[in-house]
Structure 1
Amino acid sequence: MKYFNHKIIGIAMMCATVMACTDKYDCNLQVEKPEEVANSEYLASFDLLKSYITRDASSPFKFTANLSSTDFLKKDIAYSTILSNFDGIDIGGSITPVNSLKEDGSFDFGGMQLVADAVKGTDITLYGGTLCSNQGQRTAYYNELIQPIIIPFVPEKGKTVICDFENDELGKAYGMTGGSQAVVENDPDGKSGKALHVGTDDNKAAYSHPKFNVKLPEGRKLGDYVNLTIDMRIVNEDGIYGAGMRVFINGKEFNVGMNAKTFGCNPNTWNRGAVISLNSATAPGFILPDEMKGLTEFELAVGSASGGAQYFLDNIVMNYELPGTGVTKIDFEKDELGTSYPMTNGNSSVVENDPEGSGKVLHVGTAATPCNRSYPKFTVKLQNGRTLGDYIGLSLDMYLIDGKGGWGDGMRVVINGQEFNCGQGPFNFGCEANKWGRDKIYITFLKEGEATGGGKIAIPNSMKDLTEIELAVGSGSGEWHAYIDNINLHWKADDTIIEKTPEEKKNIFTEEMNKWIGGIVNAGGESVKVWNIVGEPLDKTMDANTFNWGEYLGEVEYARTAVKQARDTAKIDLNLFVSNTFNQSDEMGQKADELIALVKSWEADDVTRIDGYNILLHAVYSKDATSQKANEEMISELFDKLAQTGKLIRVSDLSMMVEDTEGKFIQTSKLTADERSAAANYIAFIMKEYRKTIASDKQYGISISSMTETSTGNKICPWTSGYNRNGMYEGIVEGLK
């Protein structure tokens, strides 16, 4: 290609003729046109771009440019430039699933419909966008579609009626904790049937309370119950104040923190359903001791602690609620002193009295022989109805004797012989030397696959259904010497999570894919015969808009499904291309091999057909001669590999930039005339290499990335921002010839 700079080639000459008899002279000076004007006139001498295309009537070759659907519909200078210079437009980048999404989750295909209608009756060929890609998707919406159904944990609730006296004979007496009497009588109001009359006018109940023998239903224990409710009717004001309401369990007295008056009673009036909490110190209530929580049979007494009480009781009920959390505890209190526990790797662990007097503890190792990565073992039966998968962590108290084992290489938990390192030693948890670290060590249990360390371990899926385990725990140190106590395995009743099956997910996303493909192909109608069926399959980008169709539809099947949906929807024969970006920095030959292999895998079913390859080519002219030679060789290799497929080949989004010898892009406003000329020559080379290498009946066309360039950008285009031709115009002309 010959590119004219139009430098001044004439030299102005002034000749002075000195004549003896006169001072008169003639001057004829001619100045050439400025270089910029000369270049403009030179470029203006070229015809319209598409007039330079050499093709026969059967050639599929089309020369096009990227243009958004909105810019095309404006019908301004961009529209007229397209009509004059190009065979068609590429609008794919302007209509995507992300920017076509409506608030209700459906797609707006109006932009495609408008531009498809606009090209009817014209010679403009319309190239649709990408029908299926892992990029540019409404990923957050798709992920919502497969969220599991979560049924919140609802604790089982119920009640156990202790006494309502309806089945008792009138006059039946109940025992009292002291003197006076408790006798079944009719409700003094004559409304609720029978009730228990405690005390009499003449024999008041003096700090004496009626007793009831309680046997809980099968499967229930006292710790399951959250409160006790009673109906109470004070006779006159007998015992309405006094020392307050009391509850006795097996003779142990509990003060609920209120007298009958503040409990809600008034003279000679029923206080129905008054509540006494069994697990709160807030009045009216008390904390049930741990040692009583396992009771299934016990003696219950309840009433007003007064020197002169008289009242009626009815409907004594205990309400249970199975907890959502709990612990399985090892605390050594029931062990005999001197009881020995086995160790995972030798040494000793013996039950002793806590030197600080808190009760019994386990002494692990000795001063002479500290434990060398050896931990005490315990056989643990988990909470009834719970499995290891319900447990969320392990805690224990530790007293480090002389700080031995405080660091080490992490607290260890051993379950059925499999050892787990939580990544933190006792000191990291806040324990100190020669001091109890109460409530300091808590090792969180995670699910398989979650990140461990920092005080966390992951329980394998293979263990989650265990109901009984051999547990060992201790400091992963070569010299651990300590007391340990209160080893608690914490459980939590999780919400019920119903995951969607792989088949359900596949059906959901097959339908979602069809919403886009079917909708956009229908909107394009007969105006759009060419689509990128799969876009950027080699792109490994992971961002907020990345969605991997193959994960749910199958790594090969997703492309086959897309092809089938497109062909089934269209009322015309479509040409479907696989599209991928090729940057000058890529190993283009290797990338072409990957793309070709991918297409072959899709077509291996002998049903799926991909018509061609659409290569989005981002070229770079390098001022480093060695790099530029490699660039040109890669272009040649790319087209050679594509030609061998025998499929239609299209080059789109063709762009050109210039980089200096250090590999930095040069802004268009800073390019020299020589640099622009070199870039124009390179784009001509690319286009000619394509026309030379690809068989003429497989040349589906070339599309340029942009018609106009900006002064702040790096992309060189055939027109300036004001639609004046520049040197790239001539390069494209040369490439089209």
Structure 2
Amino acid sequence: MKYKKIIPIIVTLSALILSSCDDQIMEWQDRAEDSQITTAELPLELAEKIERYDALNSYTDFILGAGVGVDLYLNNETYSSITNENFDDVTAGYAMKHGPMVNSNGELNFTNVDAFIAKTKEAGLSVFGHTLVWHQNNNASYLNGLLAPTIIPGASGSNSLDLSALKDTSLDGWAGNWNTAISVVEDQGLSGDTQAIQMIADGTSNPWELQLGTPAIPIVNGHSYEVSFYIKSDIPGQGRISFDANLVNQYPWMDWYADGSDWTEAFSTTSEWQQVKITLAAADFQPGATSFMFNFDLGYLSGVTYLIDVDNISVVDLDAEPEALLNLSDLRDGSLANWAGNWNTAISVVEGEGLSSTDQAIQMIADGTSNPWELQLGTPAIPIVSGHSYEVSFYIKSDLPGQGRISFDANLVNQYPWMDWYADGSDWTEAFTTTTEWQQVKITLAAADFQPDATSFMFNFDLGYLSGVTYLIDVETIIVTDLDSSGGGGGSAPIVVEKTDEEKAEIIGEAMENWISQMVGHYKEDVHAWDVVNEPMREGGSLRDGNVDELADDEFYWVKYLGQDYAVTAFNLARQYGNATDILFINDYNLESSLAKCDGLIEYVNYIESQGATVDGIGTQMHISANSDRDNIVEMFKKLAASGKLIKISELDVRLGTNAPTTEQLVEQADMYKFVIDMYKEHIPSAQQYGITIWGISDNEEEHEFWLPDESPNLWDANYNRKHAYKGAADGLAGRDVSEDFTGELED
């Protein structure tokens, strides 16, 4: 036997009553038929009613969705069974976002989500794509890395080319066929505030018709040399380097960009700075040559203006003895032979992890440390000149927020100085902080900081403050400079070239297209609705601008680089790479608590569409509590309905402020679920009702490790039993109290 509907156990009463006699012996008597109690008349407890309800999605015609954890859905059968039985549609709570999908090289790993979609298809569920462009849950380290400044390493040896006549703008000793076509201009170099040679091609068609030649450059017999410089042009251009008769071949064809693919007479130029390098072997020079010179030949194309950065025109003797104050050779070969440290595998040199994707970095892993010296790497001895000042500088970042300091040996008066590590004069501290973005640390040591008889010193990277942090220090930017030597110790510090706003916008635009095209394209056959832009608005109704003082590790504001049209771009890309019939949403939270935010979101939708993109729907998340303002909820739905867009409740849950609610709180929660669904159906026209997604399945702590811990916001309790809220949601979806029809009757 079983109940109609579902399973509670109640003993059926006979149509008999008890009677007593004088001798207190109980006797059974038949009650009159018209006064007998039937099973249909038995009152049902609330818990019994809840168990008799059908699956939630049987009570509505619009899409009923659930926000789910992908790993739970794949591995917990109770969880997936409840999901499959009660919902039409699922939204991955985290797994389909930029952060978990994109690796450090910008590549997407589809494995986990592919398995998720395959299992949902077997169950007959659709998947709602969540989310394409949001300021959280990004691989922010990768995106910020794209925006990192270009670091031009300093020369390891002295520049053999005298640049003084360029720096004083006289061009004395430089030969050329010019009048006003060639000059030195200020603030046009690589870093924006340095000098550049400007060469203007006007009416020229041969390379030598716009030519600037260097002074004589002394050379050592049998040595090889490297010539390098940075150049750009206002429009696409062409150039070559020619040499005097001290070279065997005065007009060599070269692979100008050293990739081995294309040996040509001329190199090409664009509006972006690029480096040209030319290696001259000893055999390239005429026997007995003691010097040479070269020409910039830029007359190929008339109408082009070229800029050559002055500070980076370099001729380096590749066979000269190294002159750098700090010897990096044991880092470059990965041996760390002359570097001192307290490590086993915690400190190493890794390839391709430096500032440039091809640079080396020192990797230091803090594991179980709590004092700075517990993770320490010390340099070899660095020779110094008495009375001179020195600068130590390097670039560092970490996978998590970290801390570090620099300590010195006994050749410094103060071995553990507190410093203003970032040279802004605001904060003298023991330690500097690190983030996921590269930052430069500079330390100036005055002559008085050294012991009177010191002839050398060394310093330590002390990074043991915080356990669990991995640090990277770019090898090529660890520089020690003699500030009182004209040669700077023989080497030169790196040049940091920040990307322009225009360059950043182009880079992030390409990153957005790479992400959306791959994600939407890969799931084109399986996902037909997307949350394209998530949470674009501030609480007051203005658009977020990304100017945030402290960012979480996964925060990245696309709007900061692409401006208010970032959403226009996102919607156009989602449409371009998806299906024409895909339904594309914009989504935000607190629209019911901040009606100004709701207005601002609708205005932003209108702006997006005025720029040529199409927004199909608006999602209101509705992470609310049992006592949320009901009048505001009604007003929000009215405003959203007036937009004319499809409206989705996208992430509905109702908080109680505890993981051990009272019966009264559970009833209040159920009533709020019912109220929200009732108001959605009442105020959103049926043609605009896309559907409702309940955010989460149960109150089980596995679901709430990161979202609403120690709470009870869902329709099933921590043991996957239906709560009062299940009935509230079902009644709201059905538009009536479904349990009014329930009786105590049994059926076979």
**Shorter-chain TM-score: which interval?**
0.3 to 0.5
The alignment's TM-score, normalised by the length of structure 1, stands at 0.47
Kindly name which structure, 1 or 2, has the bigger radius of gyration based on alpha carbons.
1
The alignment's TM-score, normalised by the length of structure 2, stands at 0.47
